[in-house]
Chain A
Amino acid sequence: MAQQNITIKVNGTDQAAEIEQRLLLVHFIRENLALTGTHIGCDTTHCGACTLILDGKAVKSCTVFAVQADGKEVLTIEGMTTNGELHPLQEGFMEEHGLQCGFCTPGMIMSSYALLQENKNPTEAEIRWGISGNLCRCTGYVNIVKAVQYAAQKA
């Protein structure tokens, strides 16, 4: 088993570990760091439940090896709250009923976060395009779009 030492800055804290080189980033986040807010859905690069921010870009962490994130920065859903204050996106998903079962929600929030970093005032079409890599099987997206609009207005 090929092993490697890596250090990834996750939600602002350096996390060092010796890992198998075939370990996927999502497994490192969930199993090594016990940050289980990042979900595994389809596990085949379709659903976006595993979305996190890698060096400023939203990516599907089931389709990146942890060794590829060595020396880089990761932001997960757990890093969205500061001093107990919800991020406007988290608040928006609550206020606008942007979730039912909640399984897709962390991925939706991370994709929306990346979208709002690039485009502070997206149109509805731009929001829908921005989250087109994330699948929700409950809500039909209408309230998810409203949640992102809520956050955009608040920011």
Chain B
Amino acid sequence: MIPGSFDYHSPSTVEEAVALLTSLGEDAKVLSGGQSLIPMMKLRLAEPAQLIDINGIAGLEYIREADGYLTIGALTREADLDKSELIQQKYPILHDTAHVIADPLVRNRATIGGNLAHGDPANDHPATMLAVRAEVVATGPNGARNIAIDDFFLGPLTTALAPNEILTEVRIPVPAQGSGGAYVKLERKVGDFAIAGVAAVVTLDGNGNCSAASIGLTNVGPTPIRAGAAEEALTGNALSTDAIAEAGRLAGEASQPTSDHRGSAEYKRAMVQELTIRALTKAKVRAEGGQ
């Protein structure tokens, strides 16, 4: 399949890319890893007249800790996240996530920035970013601003990015002592979008009680969903089997799945409930120092 015709731009700095976005207006689209956008262009679901390829911008591929944050450059490939020792050892929830995004070939191109900026509730990073309470950096003509992840996803394929802003960095607070997180995805086969996915982070206090919990849900609504009632139910209580089961029930209630070829809404809600239990159980083990 052949995409519609477009003018291709390959800026070498963020400033240049933002200037292009500003001058070219609504016809312009940013190309990052391209693993969602190019298929959409081939299917003519997207027909940007101006394509701004940011892959030539140096300095947007990095994974590092500084000032209490893990910062990840927007052009960091999923394969590099998947293989990063820092991520594997200190941020296993991120490794869980990157590891199950599409397949190895797609992960060699696909970027974390693109995964978020695309705004697709079926993508895996969004739920995880809700769970780790990330923020994203949007760079526009007036410089950079930070957007809390809870304010970022506005609807299907719609984010808080202004038309002339580029997502340049993802910022994740370094986890508090006694924290653990996990991402669990149910998929029909490798490479498919999730039937449902659940990201969970818990923090245990000195007595083993849950002092903080956060839960994000993949592909069961128009945006990634925060399971707020489940989080509240867990906070301040022991992470018992019963408490985790109740959180699963509440997360299932918070989901808004629709029936499609991946299953009925009822099935997906049941899967959210079970996956939440599994994600919380794994997060708890990790918070206690296990794998």
Asked if residues A21 and B108 are in contact (CB atoms below 8 Å), the reply is no
- Interface extent on B, as a size class? 20 to 34
Contact B103 A21 (CB under 8 A): no
B58 contacts chain A at the CB level, 8 A cutoff: no
Check B190 for interface membership: any CB of A closer than 8 A.
Answer: yes
**A side interface size, CB within 8 A:** 30
Q: Are A132 and B104 in contact (CB under 8 A)?
A: yes
Across the interface, do A48 and B103 meet the contact criterion of CB distance under 8 Å? yes
Cβ A132 vs Cβ B39 within 8 A? no
- Chain A hits for B53, CB < 8 A: 65, 67-68
A2 contacts the other chain (CB 8 A): yes
Residue A80 interfacial (CB < 8 Å):
no
User: 1/0 per position for B1-18, CB-CB distance to A under 8 A?
Assistant: 111111110100000000
Q: How far is the CA of A130 from the CA of B105 in the complex (A)?
A: 9
Docked-complex contact A43 and B8, CB < 8 angstroms: no
- Pick the contact of B105: A1, A21, A22, A111 (CB < 8 A): A111
CA distance A60 to B34 in the complex (A): 11
Residues of chain A within 8 A (CB-CB) of B104 are 58, 111, 115, 129-130, 132-133
Contacting residues, chain B, for A115 (C-beta < 8 A)? 104
Q: Is A63 an interface residue (CB 8 A)?
A: yes
User: Does residue B42 face the partner (Cβ distance < 8 Å to A)?
Assistant: yes
CB within 8 Å of B: which A53-97 residues? 57-60, 62-65, 67-68
**Can you name the residue of chain B whose Cβ is closest to the Cβ of A21?**
B8
Q: How far is the CB of B131 from chain A (nearest CB, A)?
A: 25
B1 and A63 within 8 A (CB): no
A–B Cβ pairs within 8 angstroms, 9 of them = A22-B2, A22-B4, A22-B5, A57-B109, A59-B109, A60-B105, A60-B106, A63-B39, A63-B109
Name A's B-contacting residues (CB within 8 A): 1-2, 4, 20-22, 24, 43-46, 48, 51, 57-60, 62-65, 67-68, 111, 115, 129-130, 132-134
Q: Which B residues contact A (CB, under 8 angstroms)?
A: 1-8, 10, 34-35, 38-39, 42-43, 51, 53, 55, 79, 102-106, 108-109, 190-191
Instruction: Please give 8 more A-B residue pairs, beta carbons under 8 A apart, in addition to A22-B4, A46-B191, A62-B42.
Output: A4-B8, A22-B3, A44-B1, A44-B42, A48-B103, A63-B106, A67-B10, A133-B105
